[in-house]
Amino acid sequence: MRESKDRKIKRAVKVVQLLYKEYPNAKCSLNYNSVHELLVATILSAQCTDHRVNIVTKDLFRKYRSPEDYAYCEVNELADNIHSCGYHNQKARSIQGASLKIVEEHNGIVPNKMTQLVNLPGVGRKTANCILGEYYGVQSMVIDTHMVRIMNLLGFTQSRDPKKIEFELMDIFDKKDWVKLTHLVIDHGRAVCIARRPECRKCILNALCPSAIN
């Protein structure tokens, strides 16, 4: 039997309440001191752990201090600096290209509009939503692999398309929880709802999850 939207909304409220209680300190795990540093770290985080990104950016952010530093750097040297994050050549070109556009078209300031952000090289909706939600305080929702997997398990979506999932979840979850929800779900995915071995018996969402294995 298909679940009605009203029932999904009620279940979503309970899910968020339980996650807030279980992970009160959930937050972005990327280290940064400016919006441009967050942009760089987020680009680096694609297909890479946040832990590895934070190791790399510790030295990277000492070497490159401003959007101009990235925009006019030697891209092969930048690629070497971020090598351990994977896809280093592509990410270096994205970071340099985005930085150059920020310097030349946005007065060195990372834009705060979705349409402008996704026009930056290497920036898609996931990165744009991270910038908007984390730094600019815009209610937005980041759909990463944890969100795709766990929201499917919870029956809030049946899609694997991040953009479609984003809009489906925004229609179900309270707007004030959009930014925080991703961090809560990431923490839950790392601690309990692990991809290869979900610990359903320990899960606080067990009674609310149609995929729970008891």
Q: Which residues carry out catalysis? A: 126, 144
Angle (nearest 5°) at CA 133 between 111 and 13: 155
Q: Look up residue 73 and give its two tokens.
A: 């750097």
Count the neighbouring beta carbons within 10 Å of the beta carbon of residue 141.
25
Q: Give the Cα separation of 119 and 159 in Å (integer).
A: 25
Asked whether the beta carbons of 105 and 87 are under 8 A apart, the reply is no
Q: Give the Cα separation of 185 and 201 in Å (integer).
A: 17
Q: Look up residue 148 and give its two tokens.
A: 């795709």
Asked whether the beta carbons of 118 and 128 are under 8 A apart, the reply is yes
Asked whether the beta carbons of 186 and 144 are under 8 A apart, the reply is yes
**Contacts with 74 (C-beta within 8 Å, 6 or more apart), sequence order:** none
Q: What sign does the CA torsion over 85, 163, 125, 76 have?
A: positive
Q: What string of H, E and C letters represents the secondary structure of 135-146?
A: CCCCCCCCCCHH
